[in-house]
Amino acid sequence: MDNDTFTHFIGLGFLNEDRNYTQGGEIALNSPRLGCSIRNLIERWNWHTKIHNHRSSLSFQEPTKIFLRYSAFTPDDLRKMNPVIGDRPYSSVVWLGLNFNWLDQKLYTKQSWEFNIGAIGIPKIAESIQTAIHKPQNEHNTKPPYNPEGWDNQISHGGELTVLLSYSRKKLITKNAIETEALNNDLNKGKFKSQLVRTIHLDVGHILQGGFGLEFRLGKLDLRNWHFNPSRNTDAITVAPGSFGKKIKYFNRKRIREIYFYGDLRASVLLYNGSLHGQFRSSNYTLPWRETGFVYGSSRIGFMLKGKDFLFSPYVAMKSPEFWNKNSRVHTWAGFTINRTFCLSKE
């Protein structure tokens, strides 16, 4: 959703800034059957020691996600037709991607691989969407949010292929509570609970960066969902062949509704970003590499209402400067996730 629309809708207009990330969206399909095929391919190539020898542990596989994703970024001043020197360049990226996840409940780890191929700088897409959203709000372009005038200066304008490979790993820190529930096969419904998870991440390609972070959940929790990602909302995990032990009954029980607060804190080292520094195609303006803030932090705090097939989650977020010059600033924004899951077939 466009940042301007949502911040005014929830009464947080002071967060309304068209600088850095301004809008985006995703359409996705989750498929357990496709995930099984990818798992077999990974094991055949003996990647990562057959995914930590999962056949001798209590392991699960989330449905593999195929998605079409779109993101757009702008400088602060949208009214200038010429490049806004010293500010973030206009840029937009459209991705077609595949996300594969493996969850080991014995080691309380989750590994994620994501493969993306996309295009940066496709004309008119981001400009048309942003203009259509801004026009009804700006009274003939006399007040914010103004119509964007500088999209002809976006990075790789005209279109250019790009790729991105991503890996992340989560590790549950607070294991005692879920261990107790699993041994007793008791979900402790209605009790107030908390969880803490540490993370690492690595991106190679369109973005070259790595980092670590912490995530927390606090409220009425299903502890088995410690690895949960709000953008996926699916409990249709598949038990790995060879899984065993008393805990299997606990992890196979029906999921319970959750109401909780969540948040994360991340630190990253950024060496390259195609949406800042440009790629191979000539661009009217790119951010000089020497002005990039190579170390940055980000944080998000939100509220989650989650049922079996539905979730609602508003949040606020912030990110430290990605570049260091007179236009450096902390970026703040707000958004929400509404997710309704439909089962197309029984697998």
Q: What is the CATH number of the domain that holds 265?
A: 2.40.128.140
Q: Is the pTM of this model over 0.95?
A: no
Token pair 């079409």: residue: 68
**Domain-located, residue 13:** no
pLDDT of residue 155: 97
Average pLDDT, the chain: 83
**Domain-located, residue 12:** no
**Domain-located, residue 149:** yes
- pLDDT of 198 above 80: yes
Share above pLDDT 70 across residues of the chain, in percent, rounded to a whole number: 78
Q: Which of 78, 99, 103 is nearest to 88 (CA)?
A: 78
* Domain boundaries, position 327: 19-340
Structure confidence by residue, pLDDT tens digits, 121-150: 999 999 999 999 899 989 999 998 899 999
- pLDDT of 245 above 70: no
**Domain-located, residue 90:** yes
| Residue 121 DSSP symbol | -
Spatial contact of 232 and 114, defined as CB atoms under 8 Å apart: no
User: Which residue would you say has higher pLDDT here, 232 or 144?
Assistant: 144
Q: Tell me the pLDDT band of 28, cut-offs 50, 70 and 90.
A: confident
**Domain-located, residue 170:** yes
Q: Which of 92, 90, 94 is nearest to 149 (CA)?
A: 90
- pLDDT of 237 above 60: no
What's the rounded mean pLDDT across residues 212-238?
Answer: 78
Q: How many domains does the chain have?
A: 1
**Domain-located, residue 346:** no
**Domain-located, residue 2:** no
Which of left, alpha, beta for 4 (phi over 0: left; psi -120 to 50: alpha)? alpha
Chain-centroid distance of CA 223 in Å reads: 21
| Residue 135 DSSP symbol | G
**Domain-located, residue 347:** no
Rounded Cα gap, residues 105 and 216, in angstroms: 18
Distances from the Cα of 126 to the Cα of 8, 22, 172, 251, 264, angstroms: 20, 10, 38, 43, 29
